Amino acid sequence: MTISGLPDAISVSLATHGRPGVAIAAMQPSEYTAALIQVLQNRIAWAQGADALEVGSGSGVVLAALGMLGATSLCGVEIEPTGIAAAVGLMIEVDRPAELHHGSIWEPVIGRRFDLIAANLPHFPMPRQPFGKRLPSWSSGGPDGRGLLNAFLAGLPEHLAPGGRAIITHNAFVDLAQTRDILAEHSLALRIALTVLVHIPREKLDLMTSEILRAEEGRSIHRYGPYAFANMHVVEIAEPAALV
């Protein structure tokens, strides 16, 4: 187990003992994670033999899935020390070696390229603040939801190996056309691999940027009495020829 970016004492303790026991409720996998893993399971050839990276690795469960699907190497980047702790414990439990880096988006892997890049980034259009038991970094994507998404897209071309692909979650109410345009500037394209309905708790919906909520109700956001659901895509990104 390789851990970087944390204080040395914490890194040694985690690598030696795999102690993920603090505040792990904040790192529990979500419906988004489940959908991402479902797509990876349905396209197992993407993972087999791949040098794989997850940006925003959280609990480490997607990395674990990639390893069990046949990825040759596993690398995770996570901003929350709690996530690193959770991922260390999980990697030890499933007996999969991994590099785990404490840092933001691409910073810990500058100059490196990967065959398969997965990301389930916070991109809900809301202020940066805690939600329930979740940390601020769990859902908050800024007013338009694109605070981290755009940074991820901008750095993606420099980190995809030739012939590589990325697989990410993307809320339908966060302008998929804009994402498509950003990728086109870098000679990349996207294809929707899966669309699912995800539940949006009332208290989270109340935090959503009002302009986006008004525009998307009845389109990508659907209410049934007190309950609200939204369309969420799992998106494949690659060179256009690979998506034909």
Name all contacts of 208-215 with Cβ < 8 Å and 24+ positions apart: 208/124, 208/125, 208/126, 209/125, 209/126, 209/143, 209/144, 209/145, 212/125, 212/144, 212/145, 212/173, 215/173
Amino acid 135: pLDDT: 66
pTM of the full predicted structure? Answer: 0.91
Q: Residue ranges of the chain with pLDDT lower than 70? A: 7-26, 129-138
Query: What pLDDT does residue 8 have?
Result: 52
Write down the architecture of domain 2-199+232-243 according to CATH.
3-Layer(aba) Sandwich (3.40)
Domain ranges of the chain: 2-199+232-243
Q: What is the pLDDT of residue 210?
A: 96
> In the prediction, which pLDDT does 244 show?
76
